[in-house]
Structure formats: structure tokens, C-alpha cells
Amino acid sequence: MLNDELQPLHLEVLNESHMHNVPPGSESHFKVTVVSQKFEGEMLVARHRLVNDILADLLDSQIHALALHTLTRDEWFERGNDERDSPPCLGGSKADG
């Protein structure tokens, strides 16, 4: 979905569920790094909203946590094509209510 909508220069989706308090084999916590010219001139919150809109159905049903790194081509190269680590898990889940 992200490939189709954003035509990214770089896209990486990592399942980070193993780093969280979830049952073995869970696929609910992800880190997404996406580099797209569609982010050009957009504030960070607008970039995140765009990704969230694209993934809305999955966010409602399957994805509990999503760490987003949304960059333009120039930002990606300035960063040296470096991925950022996700913040540590603070616990909790949708099941906790």
C-alpha cells in the first residue's frame, strides 16, 4: 500500500513485536522508514497523517504500534541513509483497556 501511494525512494517495514510485551509470533508493532518526494514541503505531522491514512484499515484491526520515520530524499541523504531506532516499549496493549 505504501509503495503504491508514496512511490518511495526507500521503504523499510520492520516487525518490532518481539521487542514488546506481546504473545510469541505477534505482528502488531512495526517501524516504518519511508523516503518519498511526496513529503516535500510537508510538516512532519502531515507526513504521519498521510501514512496513517494509507494504513487506516490495518491500524484499526492489526497494528497496535507504529514508529514512523518519514523523510524527503534530501533529508534521507543528509542523514547518511541512517535508520533511527524505535523508542523503548512502555508496556500496555489494547487488551489492557
User: Which tens digits make up the pLDDT trace of 36-64?
Assistant: 999 999 999 999 999 999 999 988 887 66
The closest alpha carbon to 22, from 72, 77, 92, belongs to 92
Share of the chain above pLDDT 70, in %: 66
Is 80 exceeded by the pLDDT of residue 17?
no
Distance (Å, whole) CA 46 – CA 43: 5
pLDDT of 30 reads 78
pLDDT for 71 beyond 80: yes
10-15/65-71 β-pairing: unpaired
Where do the domains of the chain lie?
2-85
Domain 2-85 = CATH 3.30.300.90: yes
Q: Residue 8: pLDDT above 70?
A: yes
pLDDT band at 31 (very low <50, low <70, confident <90, very high): confident
